[in-house]
Structure 1
Amino acid sequence: MAYLDVFSLAGRTALVTGAGSGIGAAVAEAFAAAGAAVLVTDVDGAAAEAVAARITDAGGTAAHHLLDVRDRAAADAAAARAAGLGGDGVVHVLVNNAGAIAPALFGKLEEDAFRQIVEIHLMGAFSCSQAVLPFLPDDGTGRILNVTSAAGLVGTIGQANYGAAKAGIVGLTKSLAKELARRQVTVNALAPLAATPMTEGIRANEKLAAKTLERIPLGRWAEPAEIAASFVFLASDAASYVTGQVLPVDGGTVI
């Protein structure tokens, strides 16, 4: 096999959550460009539809699906829809990317805000992974890619809920990697940092933006497309022997 062929996703089907914008949208488009059929899901149905349209307009294969990852029945429906997208009843790749933030210093952090973020990030990853499980192939092409954050690796100020949820995703990733290895399914996580709608509040605040850039050795924010390439790598045969790992794609923020 030619070296570059191992990065191809031709003939594979992927389900990407939170793919209506930001990193999720970039990942969906990158997967399609690599040859995958992609189910673009988001709690914002119009945004998911727009991303799917961009993919099909560019010659790729995609469909859109409204999905709130906190709704287990909706996750089951999305998994079944993705399995039908490629015509073989298989979902090769799941990307648990859906997320949200509700920042507050811990003393003022309300219980509902804590639960909401944990439910979206951690419980969402649980529900979607379990929903996709019956459709994952056992031939070494099955992938679950979870999205964590530096907040889950080293902590952060003002987002204890987000940091706790993202740390939980690391534990979920490593546990699933060990459990699903018997099926030749790999499970990895990425900890990205990019200029997205979720980081807009930080980037728009001069002081916060300056402090954040000080912590990034490369001294700049990545564009979502730069992050997406790492997802293609972990979804492809190039990463067939990589599992249970957390890959920071953050300009050196976590070293």
Structure 2
Amino acid sequence: MRNILIVGGSKGIGSAILLQQLESNKIFNISRNPPDLTHPNLIHFGLDVLQDQLPEIENIDTLIYCPGSINLKPISSLSIDDFRNDFEINVIGAVKVIQKYLPVLKKGDDPSILLFSTVAAKLGMPFHASIATAKAGVEGLVKSLGAELASVIRVNAIAPTITDTSLSASILRNDRMKENMIERHPMKSYLKPEEVANMAAFLISDKANAISGQIFELDYGLVTFKM
């Protein structure tokens, strides 16, 4: 049984990862709202990562930071605060958690860190200036920390395309928009949270012991293929 810290495990991709890992691992979840279940293997800490003091946790083998944002506006409509808030959520929050738990994580069993980027950090997409900038910071963090911690902790990230979660509800708010999104992807689909959880499960497992400093695009061909 591994000790997994998930930040943002109460909904979306984080919830899918939590549910997948809960039966066989001990899960510490940090989020403002609790997950919609109780379980003997689950310990929840209700707090705001950016504002509150992080709890003391004695044993951690894996750290997964899930919080993200989708703030899609033309550059002329984005304020400096928009850029600042997206950077705080996606980068500063991750840095704060990593710095807090790094000493504990270094003592873990096959320790690893998993962060989240977006396909928009590699594929130029209109109205994504703020979130793409923040997630590019996440990718830089993965590369730098992967090198710095190479002999001790593996560090990777998943860069999903649009995923069917509450965060993307406004983008997938009706059948027409869903069909348009399907058609936009060469493989004619977009992601479900469980698919991202499957990749997460691989990257935090001993099957991925040779992998660090990598960004994995789950994109249904959006970045790689031109059709």
122-131 vs 96-105, which moves further: 96-105
8 Å Cα contact 1:13/1:36 also seen in 2 = yes
Partner of 1:189: 157
Partner of 2:99: 130
TM normalised by structure 2 equals 0.90
Tell me the matched-pair count: 223
Question: What are the superposed Cα offsets for residues 49-75 of structure 1, whole Å, 9 maximum, x if unpaired?
Answer: 424x1xx1xxx611111232323x53x
What secondary structure sits across from 1:112 in the alignment? helix
Q: Which amino acid aligns with 2:36?
A: A
Partner of 2:74: 105
What secondary structure sits across from 1:176 in the alignment? helix
Residue of 18, 26, 36 corresponding to 1:50:
36
Partner of 2:16: 26
Distance 2:212 2:223 in 1: 20
Distance 1:211 1:150 in 2: 17
Q: What pairs up with 1:38-117 in 2 under 5 angstroms?
A: 38-43=27-32, 45=33, 48-51=34-37, 53=38, 56=39, 61-71=41-51, 73-74=52-53, 76-77=54-55, 80=56, 83=57, 89-117=58-86
Q: Which amino acid aligns with 2:120?
A: A
Task: Identify the structure with the greater helix proportion.
Answer: 1
8 Å Cα contact 2:8/2:30 also seen in 1 = yes
Partner of 2:183: 214
Distance 1:111 1:205 in 2: 31
Question: What are the superposed Cα offsets for residues 123-150 of structure 1, whole Å, 9 maximum, x if unpaired?
Answer: 1111111111011135661110000000
Aligned-pair identity (%): 30
Distance 1:139 1:95 in 2: 14
The alpha-carbon deviation at position 235 of structure 1 amounts to 0.6
* Runs of 5+ consecutive residues of structure 2 not aligned to the other structure: none
Q: What pairs up with 1:11-22 in 2 under 5 angstroms?
A: 12-22=2-12
Distance 1:214 1:105, change over 3 A: same
The alpha-carbon deviation at position 205 of structure 1 amounts to 5.3
205-214 vs 93-102, which moves further: 205-214
TM normalised by structure 1 equals 0.81
Distance 1:67 1:94 in 2: 17
The alpha-carbon deviation at position 159 of structure 1 amounts to 2.4
The alpha-carbon deviation at position 106 of structure 1 amounts to 0.3
Residue of 225, 243, 252 corresponding to 2:212:
243
Distance 1:38 1:185 in 2: 19
Q: Which amino acid aligns with 1:67?
A: L
What secondary structure sits across from 2:22 in the alignment? helix
The alpha-carbon deviation at position 101 of structure 1 amounts to 2.5
Partner of 1:3: none
